[in-house]
Amino acid sequence: MAVGKSARRSRSPFSAHPLRPWINFRRKNRTAFIALVICVFFFYSCRRSAISTNIPSQHQSIPLCPQNPVAKDVLVTLRTGATEILEKLPIHFDTTLRCIPNYAIYSDYEEEVEGHHIYDVFDELSEDLKESVSDFELYHRLKTKGRDGLSINGTDHGGSGPSGLLGSPGWKLDKYKFLPMIDKALRHRSQAKWFVFIELDTYLMWGNLLDYLSKFDAEIPYYIGKQMYIGEVLFAHGGSGFALSAAAMRKVTEHWRAHMAEYNQYTIESWAGDMVLGKALKDALVPLLWAFPHFQGDPVSTLDHNITKIDRQPWCYPAITYHHMPEDEIRSLWEFEQEWQRTHPGDVPLRHSNVFKGYIHPYLGKERKEWDNYSVNPEFSEGALKGGDAHASFEACRLACESNVRCLQFSYRTSRCSVSSEVRLGRRATLQCLEYSTAASKCDKTDERTKDLGEGGLSAVSSGWMVERLAKYVSAMDQGCNDRMGWIT
Ligand SMILES: *[C@@H]1O[C@H](CO)[C@@H](O)[C@H](O)[C@H]1NC(C)=O
Ligand SMILES: *[C@@H]1O[C@H](CO)[C@@H](O)[C@H](O)[C@H]1NC(C)=O
Ligand SMILES: *[C@H]1O[C@H](CO)[C@@H](O)[C@H](O)[C@H]1NC(C)=O
């Protein structure tokens, strides 16, 4: 399979990237006329996206959806909870779900959201379990008081559901959802050949997923996702999304039904439901297909495309999921994908390198104000900055990066420079992220010096990239790809 086909960067950027359009000053020969056209274009596309958030999906223009016959054979399941659903579900009705013919949403609370039915995943679960385990307190409160049950004494004790804080009531319930969800999904659409499971902060590239699944025979038990271990147990990471063939679904539900009490106990003792499911699949003799980097755990804005895991770099491979995706990134990636389909009809799959070239690279400039690149590799930074006066100013920081051949980007906030040999898009921010958790894909610690933001005080963080080196980075990355690096089967 041919790899490294590049997105044509000369095309106008897709509409409504959340990032303010950064004007590429390298192309000095652009006429004022083109600049004007671009300004008008962005003005319209920003307005359009601002408006579209308030328009129900049926009034939107018809999205370009992949024409793959496998689509009707797939049930996509979203697993969520009452604590996060109102905040995080609606964006999916506007974007990813618009092309998916069959989906079901499972939660810890039955309700309607924007006219869609949300199923209570626990309604058939053993009453004994629900009555005897304190993790179900939130569930009972929701049952008796409805949404009012979310707040205790006026404060919201919700956290944010599956992806929320460990120890929050929403998270405590989450691990019990997986096995009942599998069972319900299979009955919900028993004729489906594939069942795909995601969370509300998972971005799913639907066209790519269909192309991928069509490589497999669903009558063989398949369990496909991003490999992860907790202790000895191997499983597919839930937030990265995973797929089960109909044969695997049948095997694991039969096994679960025959050993329900044991799995209930095992779930009580475990802390993550994706791991409980992994254990049940292993017990049912369904092996896991390690599908990194098609399924992977980072959001598009902080993924290092040059990271190597199990001997694979994302760059050369097709993308299927991103995790920890905030609403604005879901929207802009969807718009990018739509634009890609318009300009590359039938050209699947879309690779991580295409996402880098088309969605990320055009936005990496010499200076972005109020922008944090989120790349934290302190070893490199400390070594590279030793002895200089890089912390004196943004410009000094840039020079420090320039003087180290491996440096690709830097960020600066009043008297703190940091540099990196990794490339990341990053996000809008005022404070610098000082410690980044790759496990959780989020900033663990920000610069505490928050006080004097504003004139004369501390500046907001700014980031910059070594734009000339990025072109070399892209071609070096492309050269690392070969024909074997297509779909992992
Ligand atoms: C809520 O308020 C009641 C009565 O004021 C009190 O007894 C209880 O401990 C409070 N619960 C929490 C979780 O704060
Ligand atoms: C990718 O990462 C490896 C290992 O850190 C590094 O040696 C290599 O130079 C990087 N590639 C590019 C193009 O930066
Ligand atoms: C990006 O920002 C973080 C935090 O601000 C910093 O620690 C890191 O070194 C920066 N990376 C680059 C490449 O500048």
Res. 73 pLDDT band, cuts 50 70 90: very high
* Per-residue confidence (pLDDT) for residue 37, from 0 to 100: 46
pLDDT of residue 463 exceeding 50, the answer is yes
* Per-residue confidence (pLDDT) for residue 166, from 0 to 100: 56
Tracing tokens 């303010």 back to the chain, one arrives at 20
Report the range out of 149-163, 285-299, 409-423, 473-487 with the highest average pLDDT: 285-299
Q: Dump strand ranges (E) for 220-266.
A: 223-225, 227-230, 233-236, 242-245
* Per-residue confidence (pLDDT) for residue 306, from 0 to 100: 92
Of the listed ranges 145-154, 356-365, 403-412, the least confidently predicted one is 145-154
Distance from the Cα of residue 97 to its chain's centroid: 15
Whose alpha carbon is nearest atom 13 of ligand 3? 420
Question: What does the angle CA 412 – CA 417 – CA 420 come to, to the nearest 5 degrees?
Answer: 95
Tracing tokens 């295409």 back to the chain, one arrives at 354
- Distance from C-alpha of 85 to C-alpha of 81, rounded to nearest angstrom: 6
| Interval 463-473 mean pLDDT | 93
Q: Which residues have C-beta within 8 Å of that of residue 452, sequence separation ≥ 6?
A: 458
Of the listed ranges 175-179, 287-291, 449-453, 456-460, the least confidently predicted one is 449-453
CB-ligand 3 contact for 375 (6 Å cutoff): yes
Tracing tokens 């694979």 back to the chain, one arrives at 312
Question: What does the angle CA 60 – CA 77 – CA 92 come to, to the nearest 5 degrees?
Answer: 25
pTM for this model (two decimals): 0.81
| Interval 253-271 mean pLDDT | 96
DSSP string, 127-166: HHHHHH-GGGHHHHHHHHHGGGGGEETTEE--TTGGGS-T
Taking phi over 0 as left and psi of -120 to 50 as alpha, with beta for the rest, 92 belongs to: alpha
* Per-residue confidence (pLDDT) for residue 27, from 0 to 100: 42
Greater confidence (83 vs 287) lies with 287
- Determine whether domain 69-290 maps to CATH 2.60.120.260: no
What average pLDDT does the chain have?
83
- Distance from C-alpha of 411 to C-alpha of 154, rounded to nearest angstrom: 41
At 186-197, the pLDDT tens digits run: 999 999 999 999
Q: Which helix (H) or strand (E) holds 412?
A: strand 409-413
The neighbour count for residue 70, using CB atoms within 10 Å, is 18
Closest ligand by atom to 429 CA: 3
Atom of ligand 1 nearest to the CA of 152: 13
| Torsion angle in degrees (nearest 10) through CA of 214, 192, 204, 216 | -20
CB-ligand 3 contact for 462 (6 Å cutoff): no
Span(s) in the chain for CATH 3.90.550.50: 69-290
Q: Are 426 and 334 in contact (CB under 8 A)?
A: no
* Per-residue confidence (pLDDT) for residue 369, from 0 to 100: 74
- Distance from C-alpha of 325 to C-alpha of 357, rounded to nearest angstrom: 19
| Interval 326-338 mean pLDDT | 95
Atom of ligand 2 nearest to the CA of 422: 14
What is the distance in A from the centroid of ligand 1 to the CA of 381? 49
* Percent of the residues in the chain that have a pLDDT greater than 70, as a whole number: 79
* Per-residue confidence (pLDDT) for residue 15, from 0 to 100: 37
